[in-house]
Amino acid sequence: MKYLLILICTLFSFTVSAQDTEAICMPTEVAKQIAEDLITGDSAKAMLALTEEELSITKDKLSFKDSIILISKMKEINLNDQLRNEKKKTEAYTALYEDSKKQYATLAKEYKKYKVKKKFTDVILGTGIITLVVILINK
């Protein structure tokens, strides 16, 4: 843009100088102001490009952080599910243990009854056999 203005000024000065050699293209203050405006405009364009690039990088960082947050939330949900399943498993094992204790107590009682019956039966059979043997011997 700056070069275009200088080119226009140069062409304008040639045409003006050809007509009037003592005439000045533009005042010095105006030329300085135009040059400052051009420099400001060029730097503003550069700053715009830099800001757009920075914005793009920031968006990439934000999407990366969002993905990390999403992964962390999924891990949290998964760990909560595992914890819930472990609690259920512990409760089930506790219930199974209590049930097996009750069944063991019941079986222990039945076994004691069976042992008493067996001893009683063995004693009666033993006395019966001894009685029969004594009767057969005495006869």
pLDDT (tens digit, 9 = 90+) per residue, 14-57? 554 445 556 556 778 888 888 888 888 888 998 999 999 999 99
What pLDDT was estimated at residue 84?
A: 97
Distance between CA 42 and CA 50 in Å, rounded?
12
If pLDDT is split at 50, 70 and 90, which confidence band does 4 have? low
pLDDT (tens digit, 9 = 90+) per residue, 58-78? 999 999 999 999 999 999 999
Helices (H), the chain: 2-19, 28-138
If pLDDT is split at 50, 70 and 90, which confidence band does 2 have? low
Higher-confidence residue of 109 and 30: namely: 109
Whole-prediction pTM: 0.47
Distance between CA 116 and CA 130 in Å, rounded?
21
**Is residue 13 within 8 Å of residue 29, measured between CB atoms?**
no
